[in-house]
Amino acid sequence: MFQLESTRLRLIPLNTTQLQLHAADYDALQRSLGLVPRPMQMEEYFQNEFDDALANYWLPETAANASRYEWFTNWLIVYKSENCVAGGIGVAGLPNDQGETEIGYGIDQSFRGQGVATEALECLAEWVFKNRALKALIAHTPVALVNSQRVLMKAGFEQISENEGLILWRKLNAN
């Protein structure tokens, strides 16, 4: 099974079958990956965004792009010392005509403030930037999410603009 590793984390990209299991029985998915099952603790807003992405983006896009599904899916962020899911992260597909793709993440409430998001972001960014067509990663954060803004700054993103309550961030490919 393909995965990425950092000091404290494993990142596991979910294929279409695993995403279907995620939608049907999240505990069963975790067990199938040898993880300690636990519910994800997220605010309703983030859970709704996750559910929408699962149904309307990840499932259809991983099915349509099976040979490169890693670019179109949710990656589980596994906290190695507890062997459990600490959150999710992913990019919005292969680089577009401008050489960009968007990255997003969500961290379980009990793992926030421990550097998990920054470590996962740096780990996935290192992998996606191996694609020479990728010139920049972009991210959007609501103005009110100061902690998420700090994560992006620590991971080397710079603030580009602010529009309608969202801040646009960018990290350039140094390769």
List pLDDT tens digits, range 24-52: 999 999 999 999 999 999 888 888 889 99
Three-state DSSP class for residue 152: helix
Could you give the CA distance from residue 168 to residue 147 in angstroms, rounded to a whole number?
Answer: 15
Q: What is the mean pLDDT of residues 116-125?
A: 97
- Is the per-residue pLDDT at 175 higher than 90? no
Provide the pLDDT for residue 108: 96
Partners of 167 in the β-ladder: 141, 162
Give 149's contacts (C-beta < 8 A, 6+ positions apart). 141, 159, 167, 169
Nearest Cα neighbor of 29 from 71, 84, 67, 81 is: 84
Location of structure tokens 């700090």:
150
Give residues with Cβ within 8 angstroms of 24, minimum separation 6.
none
> What's the rounded Cα separation, in Å, for the pair 47 and 163?
23
User: pLDDT, tens digit, for every residue of 65-120?
Assistant: 999 999 999 999 999 999 999 999 999 999 999 999 999 999 999 999 999 999 99
- pTM for this prediction: 0.95
Q: Are the beta carbons of 140 and 95 closer than 8 angstroms?
A: no
Q: Nearest-5° angle of CA 3, CA 74, CA 14? A: 50
Q: Residue 1: pLDDT band by 50, 70, 90 thresholds?
A: confident
How far apart are alpha carbons 102 and 21 in whole angstroms? 25
Query: How confident is the model over 141-169, as a mean pLDDT?
Result: 95
Q: Which two tokens stand for residue 60?
A: 């259809």
